[in-house]
Amino acid sequence: ALRKVSDLEKAFATAALVYNNYADSESKLSKSETKSLLQSQFWHFIQGQENKPKYQEIISSLDEESENKINFEDFMILLVSLTLMSDLLQEIKNVKTTK
């Protein structure tokens, strides 16, 4: 089904598939599972961000002892937030494609 879609559509479909592979039977992630997923699947975007206050705030919220789970919508907001603050984003912006 994804053979005829754009690269952007594939990127979001991949994010959804990764989320679903980690999510529980209610399609949610615990905060610790979310942190683990970010560290294993989103490492290049979060690498080197440890000293940024917003990053620390986000990670601290995932470290809190809480029964709250993260749904797909919140997960996507989290990914976008981490991407926007990432140093890797600036490197990506500097790359020109030949399309």
Write the pLDDT tens digit of every residue in 33-44.
898 999 999 998
pLDDT of residue 76: 93
Q: Which residues of the chain have pLDDT under 70?
A: 1-2, 64-66, 96-99
Q: For residues 48 and 46, what is the distance between their CA atoms, to the nearest angstrom?
A: 6
Looking at residue 98, its pLDDT comes to: 55
Question: For position 19, what pLDDT does the model report?
Answer: 96
Q: What is the pLDDT of residue 4?
A: 84
pTM here? 0.80
Average model confidence (pLDDT) across the chain: 86
Containing H/E element for 29?
A: strand 29-30
Given this model, what pLDDT does residue 1 score?
59
